[in-house]
Amino acid sequence: MKADPKNVLTGSHYLDGNYACAEGAIAAGCKFFGGYPITPSTEIAERVSQRFPLLGGVFIQMEDELASMASILGSSWGGVKSMSCTSGPGFSLMMENFGLGIMLETPCVLVNVQRGGPSTGLPTLPGQADMMQARWGSHGDYEVIALAPDSPQESFELVIHAFNLSEKYRMPVLVMTDECVGHMTEKVVIPPAEEIELLERKYTDKKPGEALPFEPTSDGVSPMIPIGKGHKFHITGLTHDYRGYPVINAETQEKNVRRLIDKVNMHADEIIWLEEKDVEDAEVVIMAYGISSRVIQPAVAKARKEGIKIGQIKMVTVWPFPEKRVRELAGKVKSLIMVEMNYGQVFLEMDRCAAGKCRTYLVGHAGGTVHNAVDVYNTIKEAVK
């Protein structure tokens, strides 16, 4: 299905990353946005509130982030593409109902414009220290999908992609941007609507009485069950069976949680999106995501110019983690480097998958600004030894 031209602001614009997120959501057909103001994500909500009235969408500023997240789950079950955005403390508050979204297998998109933490931290400065919270922030076992844009252009594109993934795998999808990207203004090229491919929600084709909200399927993803069509279905955040009925025992728990994990793992190769450069002959591979993947470029270029065989992997998706690829590379290279604005979060996954087969380095800091080239370059020099 193609995007509706009414929703697409085709042309070249000078937009910040937050506005670009909003335009991506609108182009993707988002028609409900429940949000709560928090720096540095607020411009997404502002743009949506400004654009929605004439597009038939509803923006509602909820009383808090708990309610924002709950409201987008409700509207998604009402059949409407839904999104929220937040930062820092708001992300913590949303974790409760993010878990409900995972459990009810509810398509929706949540953008976290990361700032420095913990607690109130650095409201106006960037960080990437919510990556493990994105992975594990709600209680219990589950898999997530998280994308990390490095520019306003990618913010636009990845929000659309996030909506498609959320419909395809029937789950909330995270877009983990940061203050730097969110508040950075650059050229954003919005293509014509007919060039924007959207995935429609898959609904069950079974009749009321036969359809199940969590129908087992070969690809692990159950089609959604529509509201108001006589199915009279029940869904619950409790551990449930295929019918959606709560069943409180270990056997049902195993099936329920396995489905949440398997549907992502089974499709990990399809979901994982890496942009690799010069990796084939590399002695050292540098990995990064979001803004960090961009600011390392001058240091990498300098090292390459000096004859260091360095390859790079930009992780467009951070979760699920590219476990297979990192294991492969660990057997071939001297070192793997992770650059991120935290003190080692995604690094831990890289290090785990390297499993001692190569050296691993973290270029990390507590946030507040992006990495400088010198730190990155020095680590490359060390890693190639």
Partner 1 sequence: MAATEIRITGFGGQGVILCGYIIGKAASIYHDQHATLTQSFGPEARGSACSAQVVVSDSRVLYPYVTSPGIMLALSNDGYLTHKDTMAEDCILVYEKDLVKPEKDGPKAKAFGVPATRIAEELGRKIVLNIVMLGFFGAVTDLVPAEALRKSVETSVPAGTEELNLKAFDKGYEYGVHLKEKVELKV
Partner 2 sequence: MSVKVEELVREEHPMEKLLRMDRIPHIWCPTCGLGTTVTALAAALEQLELDLDNVAVVSGIGCTGRVAGYMKLDSFHTTHGRAIPFALGLHIARPDLKVIVFSGDGDLISIGGNHLIHTARRNVDLTVICVNNFIYAMTGGQVAPTTPITARSATSPYGNYEHPFNLPLLAASSGAVYVARWTALHVRRLTTAIKEAITKPGFSFVEVIAPCSTLYARLNKLGSGLDLMKFYHDNSVIRHGADLKEVDIDYQSKIAVGKFIDIEKPTYIDCMNEGGKRAFGDKYKPYGGGNGGN
Q: Is 161 in the site for partner 1 (CB under 8 A)?
A: no
* Residue 146 CA, distance from chain mean position: 2
- Contact between 56 and partner 2 by CB under 8 A: the answer reads yes
Binds 368, which of partner 2, partner 1, none (CB < 5 to 8 A, cut-off by type)? none
41: partner contacted, choices partner 1, partner 2, none (Cβ within 5-8 A by kind): none
37 binds partner 2 (CB under 8 A): no
Which residues are CB-contacts of 35 (< 8 A; sequence separation ≥ 6)?
A: 44, 45, 48, 59, 60, 61, 62, 68, 84, 85, 86
CA-nearest of 330, 334, 336, 326 to 361 is 336
Among positions 229-248, residues that touch partner 2 (CB under 8 A) are 229-238, 245-246
Give the interface segment with partner 1, choosing from 26-34, 194-202, 292-300, 353-361 (CB under 8 A). 292-300
| Residue 12 is a binding residue for partner 1 (CB under 8 A) | yes
- Say which amino acid occupies 170: R
Residue 294, contacted partner among partner 1, partner 2, none, CB below 5-8 A by kind: partner 1
Total of residues contacting partner 2 (CB under 8 A): 46
User: What are the tokens at 368?
Assistant: 């507040």
136 binds, among partner 1, partner 2, none (CB under 5 to 8 A by kind): none
Q: Which does 14 bind (CB under 5 to 8 A by kind): partner 1, partner 2, none?
A: partner 1
- Taking CB under 8 A as the criterion, the residue among 227, 261, 301, 374 binding partner 2 is 227
Report, in Å, the least distance between residue 236 CB and partner 2. 4
State residue 368 phi and psi, 5-degree precision.
110, -25
Question: Interface with partner 2 by CB under 8 A: which range of 18-26, 27-35, 252-260, 295-303?
Answer: 27-35
**Dihedral angle computed from the Cα positions of residues 88, 90, 93 and 99, in that order, rounded to the nearest 10 degrees:** -80
Q: Based on CB atoms, which residue is closest to partner 2, 257 or 266? A: 257
The entry of partner 2, partner 1, none that residue 63 binds, CB within 5 to 8 Å by partner kind: partner 2
The CA distance from 289 to 313, in Å, is 8
Q: Tell me which residue has tokens 């941007």.
A: 177
Residues that bind partner 1 (rule: CB under 8 A) add up to a total of: 23
Helix, strand or coil, per DSSP, at residue 146: strand
Six token digits for residue 92: 């913590």
Cα(180)–Cα(173) distance, rounded to whole angstroms?
21
- Contact indicator for 264, 314 with CB cutoff of 8 Å: no
The phi-psi region of residue 237 (left if phi > 0; otherwise alpha if psi is between -120 and 50; otherwise beta) is: alpha
> CA–CA distance from 65 to each of 90, 210, 222, 356 (Å)?
6, 36, 28, 41
Site residues (vs partner 2, CB under 8 A): 31-32, 34, 53-58, 60, 62-64, 66-68, 70-80, 82, 96-97, 99-100, 227-238, 245-246
Site residues (vs partner 1, CB under 8 A): 12-14, 16, 39-40, 123-124, 179-180, 183-187, 291, 294-295, 297-298, 369-370, 373
